[in-house]
Structure 1
Amino acid sequence: MYYFNHAAWQPVLPLSANRKSLFKDPRTDLLSIFLLQVFITLILCKILGKILSFIHQPAVIGQILAGIILGPSALGFIPGFSSFLFAPHTLDSLQLVSSLGLIFFMFYLGLKMDPNEIRHGWRQTLPIATASIAIPVGVGCVVSLWLYKMVSPDINKIAFMLFIGSGIGFSAFPVLASILQANNIITTPLGVLIISIAAIEDIVVWVILAIATALSEGGPSIGGLYTLLLTFAFLLIMFIIVRPLLSLLHRYYFRRNDEHNIYLIVICLLILVAAAFTSEIINIHAFFGSFIAGLIIPRQPKGSNLHEFLSVRIELFCIEFFLPLYFTNSGLKTHLYMLNTFQIWYTLVSLVFIVSLAKIIPVTLMTRLITRKTETWSYAFAVGILMNTRGIVQLVVLNVGVELGILSPIIFAMFVVVAVILIFFTTPVLYVVYLKNNAIQNKKEIKAPVSKRTHLYTHPIEHIPNNRLSKSYRKWRLQTTSV
């Protein structure tokens, strides 16, 4: 019932109604529930990340585990927890924001890479990428015949084989980048090689996914060929048209000593958005387009630091805020309680060994064959260990399979556990076979005393050639790493 204030002719709610309207119910307000999700997610991710750091694990494992804990596999068993905090109608907002974070992270990764180093190393990259794709995907297709009994016999067998082959055969581009970044080797020759191989894999995996999706829907498999041709056209436009035009504009502002002009920065961000949009609509994930956008940001002429200027401003907020949301979101979709029989766990353990051997052995042998004159066995083994990392790309592919009805939730849950196990062992094994042996050499490059106050993501005395950074940036770097 409403009462009227006759002086102002406005309806006045009863006192009890006014009391009820003092606070919103977060369950009915998407912004409120989203902010609550972010708050709880970031706290749990940081706690798990700190705990796992004592055993030299990257933060990404804590973030995936946070999603599993917050999802139906753990806290979801508490009555009303999931319906209040992670109701299905609220997850779309979390997915969109976390995907935006992944787009910026891949843009940041492209900024950190040197396109010239990637281009000059293609003789090493292509053979290793071929070994990293062909053999593991082939093994995955064979394994899929074993897993086919876990789905309905009405499912298209070829589509099922392609989904499982992709899930077993391909590495995780974002997770790999996160591990390289955490170990401060992303700009080393090893990091450049890994990222180059992962970029090639990323193109192939979405082509195979397009073919598998078409087959599952009863369409022609030629859709994968169209996706491949459109991807090459996108790369040609970005590197032959967009990059030279952006370089001309950058040189104009550089000559005027106004390299960080706000209009130039906005244009770079618009290119990022346009590239991500284009790669998304041609059925290549948006984060691939954002990575390419980062690669074409000008590094010349000498003394330019536009790419460093952008990367420094993106790094902190992206890695500490957005990435935890993305990796946690994947864990929310996992139903570990379905893994409740001995047969399932036997299959899971077998998958861990099969997946690892199918990836590590061919990649290690091919890397050793290609780099035998310049690198050691430990370097080759490090490449094999890193390329054995699974994660987001694998889960995205398998999640599409679940949505299309090709894969069962049990298979998805199994592969989530496989991904977590492989990520967990990546950093310790990498440290034993490669990082530990190269630590002494890296220490020889250190000439300044170690400061207790360090940059968040890079070593405070990281060796960076002076000719690659401007004087102003080196001065800023020195200030941020001093006591």
Structure 2
Amino acid sequence: MIVLQLAIILIASKVAGSIAVRLGQPSVLGKLLIGIIVGPSVLGLIEETHTLEQFSQIGVILLMFLAGLETDVDEFKRTGKASLFVGLGGIIVPFVFGYAAGLIMHLTSIESAFLGLLLSATSVSISVQALKEMNALKTPEGATILGAAVIDDVVVIIALAFLMSFTGEDVQLSIVIGKKVLFFAGALLFAWKGVPYFLKRFSSLKVSETVVSSALVLCFLYAYLAEYTGVANIIGAYIAGVAISVTSFKTEVFEKVETISYAIFVPVFFTSIGVTAEFKGLSEHLVLIVSLSLIAIATKLIGSGVGARLAGFNTSSSLAIGSAMISRGEVALIIASIGTASHMLSESMFSAIIVVVLVTTVVTPPLMKLFFKEKAVA
């Protein structure tokens, strides 16, 4: 029953998060690990269900919406060059090593290229929470990380569409690119002119909580349209948050949405990542999992870190930025599902990739804690 599952998740995630903080780690690490413990892999108290997946989806959308609300637009503009360097560095290096790893495993050139693209994906939803806990979301590093994530998502998805056009899949690259261009053009134009007008008109209705309701309408519509056009829904939610952040409604929206999000949806998202972990039958792929995990972690850290260094950040800040780009999260899982459906990824490889994604997600918060601490000391 979903209500019992929610009760278990909420108490488990809050307790585990508190323990992680007491041990000097971000609370999100505890929430991720407790998901594994209460999930099917260990205690079996929580099982993956469609309803739980929907709660989790709302949680990550709201998390990125809040990140948008907290974004300093002026700082975001100043870090545009750095975001480009970090995003591209975090794509090129993982792709090259992922492609080489595929060839070593005797995959075809197309399958190897797909593996490279899969390892190039980034999902900063976990990093956003760690940045919030370290009060680093509004720093130049934080703005660079968020901007790089948007660039990463767009470039990888377009590259994936290009690759699939060689596999016999019915993919028209011009349509794929056109839909993304249309989304970003429409989203930014509406953010400039439509969002303030919509909030003002909707909030004047004679019912309760119209401001926060109107903000959530924008958040979910942006997320839906982003996903519909082939862009990750979290990018749409983030843009909606940024659009509202420059209006007079920012403070009220942030305070009330934060309460809703962290009371139920965000804890479900973090915990459900661990719940989805499946370790049965993976012992035979242990070498593959360890190898790909090391490649995934090192290539993002180095690639994005070098990009940040070239953009003018010092070494400690560059490592901090690189560590925040490591998590592959739900973006990589979506790409892996596409690969399985198009026969570019075998079922056994898919199972191994899920564990690799989980590893990158779990190691990101403590690495960020380490490198951001070193940055502060420096």
CA distance in 2, matches of 1:37, 1:408: 32
Out of 295, 304, 318, the residue aligned to residue 354 of structure 1 is 295
In the alignment, is residue 161 of structure 1 matched against residue 119 of structure 2?
A: no
In the alignment, is residue 143 of structure 1 matched against residue 111 of structure 2?
A: no
In the alignment, is residue 370 of structure 1 matched against residue 338 of structure 2?
A: no
Aligned-pair CA distance for 1:227: 2.6
Conserved? CA contact 1:250–1:298, under 8 Å: no
Aligned to 1:38: 6
Aligned to 1:414: 352
Aligned to 1:383: 321
Q: Give the residue type in structure 1 aligned to 2:122.
A: S
SS in 2 for 1:336: coil
Counterpart mapping for 1:52-451 below 5 A = 52-76=20-44, 86=47, 91-147=49-105, 157=108, 160-211=111-162, 218-223=168-173, 225-248=174-197, 263-297=210-244, 299=246, 304=248, 306-341=249-284, 344-371=285-312, 375-402=313-340, 406-408=344-346, 410-438=348-376
Conserved? CA contact 2:301–2:322, under 8 Å: yes
CA distance in 2, matches of 1:203, 1:429: 25
Change (3 A) 1:414 1:50: farther
Change (3 A) 1:66 1:402: farther
Gaps of 5+ in 1: 1-32, 150-156, 441-483
Aligned-pair CA distance for 1:250: 6.2
Gaps of 5+ in 2: none
**Which one has a bigger Cα radius of gyration?**
1
Q: Give the residue type in structure 2 aligned to 1:345.
A: L
Change (3 A) 1:37 1:205: farther
More relative contact order, 1 or 2 (CA 8 Å, 6+ apart): 2
CA distance in 1, matches of 2:163, 2:33: 29
Q: Give the residue type in structure 1 aligned to 2:79.
A: G
Change (3 A) 1:234 1:70: same
CA distance in 2, matches of 1:263, 1:430: 38
Aligned-pair CA distance for 1:405: 5.5
SS in 2 for 1:51: helix
- 1:156-175 Cα deviation digits (max 9, x unpaired): x4663354223312222211
In the alignment, is residue 48 of structure 1 matched against residue 6 of structure 2?
A: no
Aligned-pair CA distance for 1:286: 2.0
Q: Which has the higher helix share?
A: 2
CA distance in 2, matches of 1:282, 1:413: 27
Q: Which stretch shows the higher mean deviation, 347-356 or 261-270?
A: 261-270
Conserved? CA contact 1:131–1:362, under 8 Å: yes
Conserved? CA contact 2:94–2:295, under 8 Å: no
CA distance in 1, matches of 2:12, 2:201: 47
Conserved? CA contact 2:121–2:156, under 8 Å: yes
CA distance in 2, matches of 1:121, 1:131: 15
SS in 1 for 2:99: helix
User: How many equivalent residue pairs?
Assistant: 377
Change (3 A) 1:298 1:111: closer
SS in 2 for 1:139: helix
SS in 1 for 2:327: coil
Change (3 A) 1:337 1:263: closer
TM-score by length of 2: 0.86
Q: Give the residue type in structure 1 aligned to 2:36.
A: I
CA distance in 2, matches of 1:410, 1:71: 21
Q: Give the residue type in structure 2 aligned to 1:205.
A: V
CA distance in 2, matches of 1:167, 1:391: 11
Aligned-pair CA distance for 1:185: 0.6
- 1:437-464 Cα deviation digits (max 9, x unpaired): 5269xxxxxxxxxxxxxxxxxxxxxxxx
Conserved? CA contact 1:163–1:209, under 8 Å: yes
CA distance in 1, matches of 2:202, 2:269: 36
Aligned-pair CA distance for 1:370: 1.9
